[in-house]
Amino acid sequence: MQHRIDEIPLPSPPARGRLFVTNFSAVGPDPQAALDRIGATSLLCLLTPEEIRLRYPDYVPWLVTHMPPWFASQLDQRDVDEFLAEHAEEFGDFNLDDVRFNSDLDARAMWLPIPDGGIIFDGALMGAVAYVNDSLYKGTNVLVHCGAGMARTAVVGILTMISLGADPSQAPDDFRAARPGGGPDGPAQMLQIARLIERAQRLIPFD
């Protein structure tokens, strides 16, 4: 069974890349195959370590080898080695010495763990949105996923749409039209989007 991957509409310009969203079932077994399906080279994972461990623990080594350490450090205030050492038992048996970022790989991964149905610090969320915004601005296709690809993914997707010039009042409806059933899950996620609208609109692509 091939799980659906949906494209989210973006203002063009400024976006030259394309934004796709999906669920963990479409990505976990073979992340590279999921990226290849849509011609993407960047991936943002919003799952917690426990969610990954319970379903596709081998996904973690893939994330780490494709995730620049500076990105994990920026979001988590910890480098990749410390993070993995802390959660090593959750992820099963693999040698941390053999799992390192490989700068020669074409694909890039970003990992921002957000609790299911919950939120994370505004600054960390906006760091991820800024990275997706920059990737799209530069013409890179990006794939974003959480568990079902509906709520946490919608928070990032809607803020990304707004950061690229979408109407904040229309972006949630446009996201839901592209990803049926998608949208923020409850007041906390809705309020987070609302309070970050102005910050999203001020985002400037990285140099």
What's the confidence (pLDDT) of residue 206? 61
What's the mean pLDDT when you consider all of the chain? 86
- Assign domain 6-201 to its CATH superfamily: Protein tyrosine phosphatase superfamily (3.90.190.10)
Q: pLDDT confidence of 94, banded at 50, 70, 90?
A: very low
Q: pLDDT confidence of 4, banded at 50, 70, 90?
A: very high
Highest mean pLDDT among 46-60, 100-114, 159-173: 159-173
Least reliable range by pLDDT among 98-107, 123-132, 152-161, 163-172: 98-107
Given 3-state DSSP classes, what are the helix, strand and coil percentages for the chain, each rounded to the nearest 5?
50, 10, 40
Picking from 23, 29, 32, 18, the residue whose alpha carbon sits closest to that of residue 4 is 23
Above 60 in pLDDT, residue 102?
no
Query: What's the angle, vertex CA 79, arms to CA 105 and CA 46, rounded to 5?
Result: 70
Above 80 in pLDDT, residue 200?
yes
Domain residue ranges of the chain, discontinuous segments joined by +: 6-201
What is the longest distance spanned by two Cα atoms in the chain? 48
Cα gap 162→178, rounded to integer Å: 15
Beta-carbon contacts of residue 170 (< 8 Å; ≥ 6 apart): none
CA 3 to chain centre: 17
What's the confidence (pLDDT) of residue 99? 47
**Report field, pTM of the whole predicted structure over 0.95:** no
Q: What is the mean pLDDT of residues 173-183?
A: 98
Three-state secondary structure readout of 93-159: CCCHHHCCCCCCCCCEEEECCCCCCCCCCHHHHHHHHHHHHHHHHCCCCEEEECCCCCCHHHHHHHH
Tens of pLDDT, residue by residue over 5-34, are 999 999 988 889 999 999 999 999 999 999
Q: Please state the length of the chain.
A: 207
φ and ψ at residue 21, rounded to 5 degrees: -135, 150
Tens of pLDDT, residue by residue over 137-149, are 989 999 999 999 9
Q: pLDDT confidence of 75, banded at 50, 70, 90?
A: very low
Q: What is the mean pLDDT of residues 41-54?
A: 92
Q: What is the DSSP letter of 9?
A: P
What's the confidence (pLDDT) of residue 46? 96
Q: What is the DSSP letter of 183?
A: S
With H, G, I as helix, E, B as strand and everything else as coil, classify residue 43. Answer: strand
